[in-house]
Chains A and B, each alone.
Chain A
Amino acid sequence: MTTTLTKPAPAVEPKRTRRSKSARAGGTMHAGPIAYTILALFSIGSLFPLVWTAIAASRNNNRLAETPPPFWFGGNLFHNLDVAWNEANLGQAFLNTTIVAGISAITIVVLSTIAGFAFAKLRFRGRNILMLTVIGTMMVPPQLSIIPLYMMVAKLNWADQLQAVIFPSLVSAFGVFFMRQYLLQALPDELIEAARVDGASSWRVVWHIVFPAARPAMAVLGMLMFVQAWNDFLWPFLVLTQTGNPTVQVALAGLGRGYTPDQSLIMAGALLGTLPLLLVFAIFGKQIVGGIMQGAVKG
């Protein structure tokens, strides 16, 4: 009975998807020249400020104080990069930001995967209310917690030290939610059951089944969290100083203020601060796009 019921189903499924796919491919949804024109305009709008950052960074301050503004590269790029690097304390800033973003991303990914697994696949008392708490605070803006955190930092004498930025960045309610949504559908219950029957403890299940199954989502979450930590501005700005122990964003914010009025140097700094992430996006862009879209459907 069950076999006769289940057997035709797989035969129907692929047929249906194939039909609808061919309807889409052959049908009304092809992009025309207008669509391509609009896309081209948006692409230029997206990239122009970035390209122009590089153009401005390759000029000098006098050239930027003329009309019309420059549209092509000059010969000053490496000189400006060099000066900006030293003046804005960018070497220190890069090291600091890499440490902060790295620790933050790795910790969030591991903790979120384990907690997300518990929320997705295990039963325990209080599960729903705890999950709701997590989702509820996902929407709370960070400004609400900076004052007590600042008091903590003052009390612990952590001002201008990296741990002041690292610790608050280790938690992400979004991460737990993201991993839970992924594991709900990506991790079959039978796999866990089978391991249980073999006598595997919960930690062994996590290590040998959950982590391998979650790997794609972990990579995406790791990249998103790295980008977020790299670009985080408000909190590092409050507890770190530009001249002491800055992250890249804190150092960049200092560039705009009086002490280097040279616009081409400011642009060189902005370029240096952005380049690492742009490289990451150029290499892993497809995966990051996929991750954002995947998170969106379920969110």
Chain B
Amino acid sequence: MATRHDTAAPLAQEGGAAPVRPPAAPTEAERRRRARLSRRWQRDIKWSPYGFISPFFVLFLAFGLFPLVYTGWASLHTVELTAPTDMQWAGLHNYTRIFGDDFFWNAAKNTLTIGIISTVPQLLMAMGLAHILNYKLRASTFYRVVMLAPYATSIAAASLVFVLLFGRDYGMINWALHFVGVGHIDWQNDKWPSQIAVSSIVIWRWTGYNALIYLAAMQAIPTDLYESAALDGASRWRQFLHVTLPQLRPTILFTCVVSTIGASQLFGEPLIFDANKGASGGAEHQFQTLGLYLYEQGWVNQHLGRASAIAWTMFLILILIGIVNYVISRRLRASS
């Protein structure tokens, strides 16, 4: 492509002048001018791509890549919040400290269970919802925008409302549950109820968004596939199982990865869900996630080095999950 531009440019320069001047005998000055233009042209072709990406990459290096790597470096040091630039080498001490802390394992377990409670129903409902939205509907745009309204609501606002809805004594949810004979549930202080409540904030905010992503992928499936499946006598449910789901596999994987990452860094919802306990995630740490634990170590206990070690541990766990995901998806592809 580049070579074509090189030859094209001087031709265009000549094109305008050709009728007036015989092209065979350019003057010395003209030839030099043309050579200069052509050199400038080549420089432009060669270097402008770097010019185009460099503003992004400068910021990206400063605020994306460098902090990522530097967190790893900081995790090998003792750093206090009160003097964040004063670092003392500590080797792997921060890591051994964390792995010996019961609260770390508690937070890891909570992150996992809240992650499962929030992600699995969310993606299943999103799939069903997308399937329905894919029908021929009246006012289909209206439904799509409505499903996306929670996504426009911030974590802070959503969490504040859900705290009230999940209130033990006067909350809407306990009031509705008493009609079906369920007694007062303490959504804030009991372990499983609190985890379910925190998860429900995540589910509420993201189900519609994921449904739209599934819907987009469903609409990209060629209709011929359904037609031939219908000709073979496949019921609608079997069409969904044998046409829709296999075609959606890359999208499903994508949403699983994104949701996993989102779940692993859960922070605002549990923080605000019991605002007065803050970073501890409930009176008995019953819904303290790794994100909250990191915040507690770094900003409440003021050990930034230890917080960095938590961050990198989370990163390594994510990479591990990514690899497992990749292996599973390859197995699935190979088996079909």
Contacts and interface: CB of A to CB of B under 8 A. Distances in A.
Nearest to B157: A270
Nearest to B46: A124
Interface in A10-46: 20, 23-25, 28-31, 35-36, 38-39, 42-43, 45-46
Contact of A289 (B44, B204, B212, B222): B212
Contacts of A124: 46, 49-50
Contact of A281 (B49, B63, B65, B145): B145
A149 B204 contact: no
B88 interface: no
Given A150-B84, A233-B156, A144 B67 contact: yes
Contacts of B13: 199
Contacts of B143: 39, 43
Contact of B161 (A20, A53, A280): A53
Contacts of B258: 139
A218 interface: no
A203 B315 contact: no
B92 interface: no
A150 B304 contact: yes
Given A49-B162, A233-B267, A273-B154, A151 B85 contact: yes
B208 A148 contact: no
A273 B56 contact: no
Interface string A35-69: 11011001101110110110010000000111111
A123 B136 contact: no
A67 B71 contact: no
A36 to B, nearest CB: 8
A28 B77 CA distance: 64
Contacts of A64: 164, 170
A293 B59 contact: no
The bracket for how many chain B residues form the interface is 35 or more
B182 interface: no
A94 B69 CA distance: 34
B275 A196 contact: no
B155 A233 contact: yes
Interface stretch (B96-104, B116-124, B291-299, B328-336): B291-299
A118 B56 CA distance: 11
A143 B291 contact: yes
B301 interface: no
Interface residues of A, number: 112
Contact of A47 (B146, B216, B222): B146
Contact of B71 (A39, A147, A257): A147
A252 B141 contact: no
B164 A143 contact: no
Contact of A197 (B12, B62, B227, B318): B12
Given A139-B257, A173-B60, A52 B172 contact: yes
B63 A286 contact: no
A176 B208 CA distance: 25
A249 B267 CA distance: 13
Given A43-B146, A69-B170, A145 B68 contact: yes
A112 interface: yes
A140 to B, nearest CB: 6
A293 to B, nearest CB: 4
Most buried by B among A31, A238, A257: A31
A159 to B, nearest CB: 11
19 contacts: A24-B223, A47-B149, A123-B1, A143-B294, A145-B71, A147-B308, A148-B71, A148-B74, A171-B60, A171-B63, A173-B64, A257-B278, A263-B164, A273-B156, A285-B144, A285-B148, A289-B148, A296-B213, A297-B217
